[in-house]
Structure 1
Amino acid sequence: MTSPFFLSVAIAAPIPKLFDYLPLAETDMSHYQAGLRVSVPFGSRVLTGVIVSIHQNPQYDPAKLKPISELLDATPLLPNDVYQLGHWLSEYYHQPIGECLSLLWPVLLRKGEQARASKQTFYAPTPNQPDASTIKRAPRQVDLLEHMKQPNQQTGQWQKDLVKAGFTPTIINGLVDKGFLEKQERDSFQPIKGECSHTPLTLNQEQQQALTCIEQNQGFKSFLIDGITGSGKTEIYLQAIAPHLEQGKQVLILVPEIGLTPQTVQRFAQRFDADVLLLHSKLNDRERLDAWLMARKHGSNTGRGQIVIGTRSAIFTPLPNLAMIIIDEEHDQSFKQQDGVRYHGRDVAVVRAKTLDIPIILGSATPSLECLHNGLSGKYQYLRLTQRAGSASMPELQILNIKKQAVHHGLADSLLKPIQDTLDKGQQVLVFVNRRGYAPTLYCPDCAWIAECRRCDAKMTLHQKPAHLHCHHCDSKLSIPRQCPECLSHKIQAMGAGTERLETHLQYQFRNTPVIRIDRDSTQNKHAMEELLEPVHKGEPCIIVGTQML
């Protein structure tokens, strides 16, 4: 008879302790290990938790303990380095262990779903095609075969795409029954396939010295690349990861904004014959789980490298063959998690790199003070880039004194003529303003009232698309008051200018020119960034109004 044992389970609750549970009936200790997910009764609810330890000395009377409801996994889904990262988060940031471990999982796994990739039906032409004369009296089946012979469809198509093209399941299944098509069940989430169409650029002396320093390193080392804008930091990233991808390894690239991801993906996909995975908050829960599972099951024996590009939370992705981590724009504040479990994605990345004994590259044109101190003190390898890459030259800067000039909606009238002259040359204009929304403040001139957030000390930003007041600090939203809540005056007015206000003003001043606004609000939808930048990439004359995302 085996000795009784108990399970210490971490639950995603703001309670800094573990909870003891009994194992399932007719199971022994060999069925359990740290890192397995379990469903447990917790008050009136059933929650998903993680086994942290197995022991024989419970904290409370065993007669009062409840058994777990279900064992969700046969083996731990997280590799040891990610699991230990969760414990480090709890100790370093003084956060409850249950919330820290829950942070490591995609949302669906936190809800207790099985770790299985979603499948979709795929139809591919059979290797040995039957005689086409057998379907000459079925014109729609003939049309479908011709559709499948198009250059971009020869390997096959998803069922949903065939239905969207006008082919019914009856037509499709008819070709399957006659041996023309083969029905397959494939993972619905597919990586971006790199095309290896661009060759490496020639590096200048500073770039080459930085790359040589990175390549000569063995094991863990933090590199801080402090390079001016246009100095070619991305080209160093590309050449630094090339040897690892050739060996079939994985590389993790963290970017601060989801808006940066399309440009980054394009650069990496055009350079390497590797799979590119995206992990960011704009993926729905199912897509994120599928991408997470694809990264987790990567094997170096496939011969293909894998590039994982994501925002802050991508640092917790299980990557069994991770060889290098890159943090682009390491100074950006969006690497900080401001609610729930608070942590800094950049610092977590450094800890993970040290645990795995791999190099990490931090890049920025304006390094954060803490990283700059680490670089100058020798804790990080400090690499300086002072020249622009290639034949690019530094821009000419002109400071405009607007003290005695008319300013409308945040833009001086004297700037309108240079903008028009640039557009007349067939060129593009970028208007940078580091404020989202229509105006940063709603103000009453009669009593000096200012719209402030009720949940924090920040001021509410006025938005017009749609119309509301929005706190960018805690995400609180309010409707726009028709009168001052303090003195009941109807003279409340918007003070200052944001991207929405500038967009409206420029659209009025330049009616025949497209005005494109790029900020966090205009790029919320999937593929919105690519669609907004399409006319820009074509080189058409336009005015781009944007925040630091640009």
Structure 2
Amino acid sequence: MKRRCIRVAVALPIRKTFSYIIPEDLPDKDYTGYGVLVPFGNQKAVGFVLGEEMGWQGEVELKEIIDIINPEPFFTKKMVRFFEWLSEYYFYPIGEVIQNAIPSGLNISRFFTATITKKGQKAIDELPEGSKERDLLIWIRENPRERLNIPLRIIHELQEKGWIKAKREIRRKEKGPLMRKFARIKASLDTYRLKELSKEEQKLLSLLNTKGDKPVCELSRYIKKKDIYYLVRRLEKKGIIESFDAPVYKDISGEIIAPIIIPERLEKQQEQALSEISGSLKGGGFSVHLIFGVTGSGKTEVYFRAAQMAMDMGRQVIIILPEISLANYIESLFRARLGDRVAIYHSRLSPGERYDQWMRMVKGEVDVVIGARSALFSPLPRLGLIIVDEEHDPSYKQEAIPYYQARDSAVVRAQIEDATVLLGSGTPSVQSYYNCLVGKYSLIRMPERIDNRPLPEMEVVDMRYESPGSIFSQRLISAIREDLEAKNQCILFLNKRGFYRLYMCRRCGRPVRCPNCEVSLVYHMKEKRLRCHYCGYHRERPERCSSCGARVFRTVGFGTERVERELAGLLPEARIARMDADSIRRKGRASHILRRFMDHELDILIGTQMVTKGYHFPLVTLVG
């Protein structure tokens, strides 16, 4: 029997792929997209199957894969070409491209363990008590083959001295589905036996008959929780029901943040845009449309109806947004109109939640995926439409390894899968607009606002004529007061977090800098710490200047935290909230703030760029 050969991309910093043989005891099927454990030199490595090697005739001896590490494929066959393009264009190993694209809950972790050598044992006896090296060697001796949570540099130093033998290990860290107990009625139940049961037992059987798809724990809203498990065990002993454990997937869909208003009619420019998009979807080929629409022109409604068209044709949709908080907001709007076939996917989900959403996509339970950059890698086999909102936004560029531009990558994926791309913006990027001018993209103009509403009045205030050191102009404060008296709402935008932007020496003028990034640290009043907004480094306020030794410091500038405090002092009657990366760290906090603002439980919302994109708040009449 001819052995099957597969092409594998190992998740190591190696650009080429490798060939392996599938063991004869594994089922005969296509393993493209599956994760595998393979022998690689003198170690084991994680790899991803890119397809079958058709030209292998057995002339070269190949190794067998060790194991299949997941029950379902991580990605579709069409995505192989996409990953190959990403690897080649952004010059990054394809195995690591794939490993970074799939959720961490599906991956295998690699780490080092170590055992002590005779030379290391001798070093323990000779090194002074309390030294870091001695304490580390003692820990390794007492915990052989346990994970080493120390920098790789230190492991190599200890190895070079001959004190330890280090070994790379692989451990599965797959985040499995949440398991719950279910119960079902046995088919052989007769009417005579039902009459012998108590009222509580009959009530449970009635619930199982009507709500049998619910876990037992969720039936406790109808029967007391302490009683329901007792009744299940009793009926199980009588042979009337049987219980079993089954996976359930957590519903992470956000609450409905805004009331859903479906327009009775579309504007002419919306109809024209949808007509052109419909032609592309029906044609089934690759095309890119740039929707150049001013703020308030109705682009979101076009997105929704285009997604509905694609779904009606049996195709699937990816919607990519520049901010995670905006993704939660848009997901709630789409879910209210499309139901549970909508999934949300972004980096702020927990590993378990990302696993659940990914598995829903793999199993075909999702038609629309909404998220930030990482949603681009959603494993949708019938992809027909990719929507990139605010396509000009710089946040689409991934600043960490692997580097990629999500907007450009979305166009390439659509080209590979014969899908349509919608790029939306009120201020298109130069690249996209140029592609329209040369005929690569189709330009759809939406120059009018809904119902021909006028653009807001704009006023520029020269702060040189305001009080020295003042954050707010008198014109802004009076406008906010007028807004509050009229029972309207206000948004204040400042793209700077923290309390003071600089903490600097009075004598030499040197600011306190991050030792990793060489940028000035920002002072946060709530934490009473200086923090780097690039790498996360933080420290307490220094007592002396590291440059001249002076003990006197001064603070300069302001961020959203200071704006919130000073505004509360000026307008004590106003209900104020702040929305930035510091204030929404806790899960669900962003949705909670938006919900309160939409319900008019807040008067003023202060925030960074996340408060300026894509929201619709009818009572907001002032932005500062």
1:134 is aligned to 2:198 = yes
What are the residue-to-residue correspondences of 1:288-327 with 2, within 5 Å? 288-298=354-364, 306-327=367-388
1:174 is aligned to 2:234 = no
Q: 1:72 aligns with which of 69, 73, 81?
A: 69
Q: 1:86 maps to what in 2?
A: 83
What are the residue-to-residue correspondences of 1:480-519 with 2, within 5 Å? 480-519=541-580
Secondary structure in structure 1 of the residue aligned to 2:463: coil
Q: 2:100 aligns with which of 93, 99, 103?
A: 103
> Is the contact made by 2:293 and 2:299 (CA closer than 8 Å) also made in structure 1?
yes
Q: 2:180 maps to what in 1?
A: 120
Q: Deviations over 1:326-346 (max 9, x none)?
A: 111112222221112111111
Q: 2:126 maps to what in 1?
A: none
> Is the contact made by 1:198 and 1:270 (CA closer than 8 Å) also made in structure 2?
no
Pick which of 178-187 and 476-485 moved more: 178-187
Q: Deviations over 1:227-266 (max 9, x none)?
A: 1111111011112222222345321111111110232022
* Structure number with bigger Rg: 2
> Is the contact made by 2:385 and 2:420 (CA closer than 8 Å) also made in structure 1?
yes
Q: 2:128 maps to what in 1?
A: none
- Partners in 2 of 1:36 and 1:156 — Cα distance? 30
- Partners in 1 of 2:195 and 2:58 — Cα distance? 72
Structure 1 unaligned residues grouped into runs of 5+: 300-304
> Is the contact made by 1:282 and 1:524 (CA closer than 8 Å) also made in structure 2?
no
> Is the contact made by 1:426 and 1:541 (CA closer than 8 Å) also made in structure 2?
no
Q: 1:443 aligns with which of 486, 504, 520?
A: 504
Q: 2:350 maps to what in 1?
A: 284
1:226 is aligned to 2:225 = no
Deviation at 1:79, TM superposition (A): 0.9
Pick which of 360-369 and 12-21 moved more: 12-21
What are the residue-to-residue correspondences of 1:243-258 with 2, within 5 Å? 243-258=309-324
Q: Deviations over 1:403-452 (max 9, x none)?
A: 02115563234532322232122221211111122233332232121233
Pick which of 528-537 and 474-483 moved more: 474-483
> Is the contact made by 2:255 and 2:591 (CA closer than 8 Å) also made in structure 1?
no
1:204 is aligned to 2:267 = yes
- Partners in 2 of 1:537 and 1:197 — Cα distance? 12
The structure-2 alpha-carbon separation of the partners of 1:354 and 1:533, relative to structure 1 and needing over 3 Å to count, comes to same
Q: 1:16 maps to what in 2?
A: 15
Instruction: Specify the code of the residue in structure 2 equivalent to 1:530.
Output: S
> Is the contact made by 2:501 and 2:523 (CA closer than 8 Å) also made in structure 1?
yes
Q: 2:277 aligns with which of 201, 209, 214?
A: 214
> Is the contact made by 1:430 and 1:544 (CA closer than 8 Å) also made in structure 2?
yes
Pick which of 190-199 and 517-526 moved more: 190-199
> Is the contact made by 2:331 and 2:370 (CA closer than 8 Å) also made in structure 1?
yes
Q: 1:371 maps to what in 2?
A: 432
Q: 1:48 aligns with which of 40, 46, 49?
A: 46
- Partners in 1 of 2:407 and 2:196 — Cα distance? 59
- Partners in 2 of 1:451 and 1:72 — Cα distance? 48
Give the alignment's Cα RMSD to 1 decimal. 4.0
Q: 1:38 aligns with which of 36, 39, 49?
A: 36
The structure-2 alpha-carbon separation of the partners of 1:421 and 1:157, relative to structure 1 and needing over 3 Å to count, comes to farther
The structure-2 alpha-carbon separation of the partners of 1:368 and 1:66, relative to structure 1 and needing over 3 Å to count, comes to same
The structure-2 alpha-carbon separation of the partners of 1:76 and 1:266, relative to structure 1 and needing over 3 Å to count, comes to closer
Q: 1:404 aligns with which of 465, 470, 485?
A: 465
The structure-2 alpha-carbon separation of the partners of 1:44 and 1:499, relative to structure 1 and needing over 3 Å to count, comes to farther
Q: 2:139 maps to what in 1?
A: none
Deviation at 1:50, TM superposition (A): 1.9
Q: Deviations over 1:89-128 (max 9, x none)?
A: 1111111122112223221222146696443345799999
- Partners in 1 of 2:417 and 2:311 — Cα distance? 17
> Is the contact made by 1:203 and 1:389 (CA closer than 8 Å) also made in structure 2?
no
- Partners in 2 of 1:79 and 1:411 — Cα distance? 54
Q: 1:426 maps to what in 2?
A: 487
1:235 is aligned to 2:298 = no
- Partners in 1 of 2:455 and 2:508 — Cα distance? 48
> Is the contact made by 2:183 and 2:232 (CA closer than 8 Å) also made in structure 1?
no
Secondary structure in structure 2 of the residue aligned to 1:85: helix
Q: Percent identity?
A: 31
- Partners in 1 of 2:571 and 2:58 — Cα distance? 73
The structure-2 alpha-carbon separation of the partners of 1:226 and 1:176, relative to structure 1 and needing over 3 Å to count, comes to farther
Instruction: Specify the code of the residue in structure 2 equivalent to 1:467.
Output: K
Instruction: Specify the code of the residue in structure 2 equivalent to 1:298.
Output: G
- Partners in 2 of 1:540 and 1:258 — Cα distance? 23
Pick which of 478-487 and 209-218 moved more: 478-487
Secondary structure in structure 1 of the residue aligned to 2:450: coil
Instruction: Specify the code of the residue in structure 2 equivalent to 1:523.
Output: I
Q: Deviations over 1:148-176 (max 9, x none)?
A: 89xxx978765556679994454344167
Instruction: Specify the code of the residue in structure 1 equivalent to 2:608.
Output: T
The structure-2 alpha-carbon separation of the partners of 1:334 and 1:131, relative to structure 1 and needing over 3 Å to count, comes to farther
Instruction: Specify the code of the residue in structure 2 equivalent to 1:83.
Output: V
Q: 2:115 maps to what in 1?
A: none
The structure-2 alpha-carbon separation of the partners of 1:359 and 1:101, relative to structure 1 and needing over 3 Å to count, comes to same
The structure-2 alpha-carbon separation of the partners of 1:476 and 1:125, relative to structure 1 and needing over 3 Å to count, comes to farther
> Is the contact made by 2:545 and 2:551 (CA closer than 8 Å) also made in structure 1?
yes
The structure-2 alpha-carbon separation of the partners of 1:409 and 1:176, relative to structure 1 and needing over 3 Å to count, comes to farther
The structure-2 alpha-carbon separation of the partners of 1:73 and 1:32, relative to structure 1 and needing over 3 Å to count, comes to farther
- Partners in 1 of 2:350 and 2:587 — Cα distance? 10
Deviation at 1:71, TM superposition (A): 3.0
Q: 2:394 maps to what in 1?
A: 333
> Is the contact made by 1:40 and 1:68 (CA closer than 8 Å) also made in structure 2?
yes
The structure-2 alpha-carbon separation of the partners of 1:334 and 1:96, relative to structure 1 and needing over 3 Å to count, comes to same
> Is the contact made by 1:228 and 1:388 (CA closer than 8 Å) also made in structure 2?
yes
Structure 2 unaligned residues grouped into runs of 5+: 109-171, 612-624
Q: Deviations over 1:304-351 (max 9, x none)?
A: x72211111111111122221111111222222111211111111111
Instruction: Specify the code of the residue in structure 1 equivalent to 2:269.
Output: E
Instruction: Specify the code of the residue in structure 1 equivalent to 2:590.
Output: M
Instruction: Specify the code of the residue in structure 1 equivalent to 2:95.
Output: G
Deviation at 1:364, TM superposition (A): 1.3
The structure-2 alpha-carbon separation of the partners of 1:263 and 1:201, relative to structure 1 and needing over 3 Å to count, comes to farther
Q: Deviations over 1:5-64 (max 9, x none)?
A: 87654222223334566x4765699678554322135577643212446475999x96xx
> Is the contact made by 1:328 and 1:363 (CA closer than 8 Å) also made in structure 2?
yes
TM normalised by structure 1 equals 0.84
- Partners in 2 of 1:66 and 1:435 — Cα distance? 55
Q: 1:302 maps to what in 2?
A: none
- What number of residue pairs does the alignment pair up? 532
> Is the contact made by 1:199 and 1:271 (CA closer than 8 Å) also made in structure 2?
no
> Is the contact made by 2:289 and 2:421 (CA closer than 8 Å) also made in structure 1?
yes
> Is the contact made by 2:175 and 2:352 (CA closer than 8 Å) also made in structure 1?
no
The structure-2 alpha-carbon separation of the partners of 1:463 and 1:163, relative to structure 1 and needing over 3 Å to count, comes to farther
The structure-2 alpha-carbon separation of the partners of 1:412 and 1:50, relative to structure 1 and needing over 3 Å to count, comes to same
> Is the contact made by 1:223 and 1:362 (CA closer than 8 Å) also made in structure 2?
yes
The structure-2 alpha-carbon separation of the partners of 1:131 and 1:266, relative to structure 1 and needing over 3 Å to count, comes to farther
> Is the contact made by 1:227 and 1:233 (CA closer than 8 Å) also made in structure 2?
yes
Q: Deviations over 1:372-427 (max 9, x none)?
A: 22123221111222221136332111111210211556323453232223212222
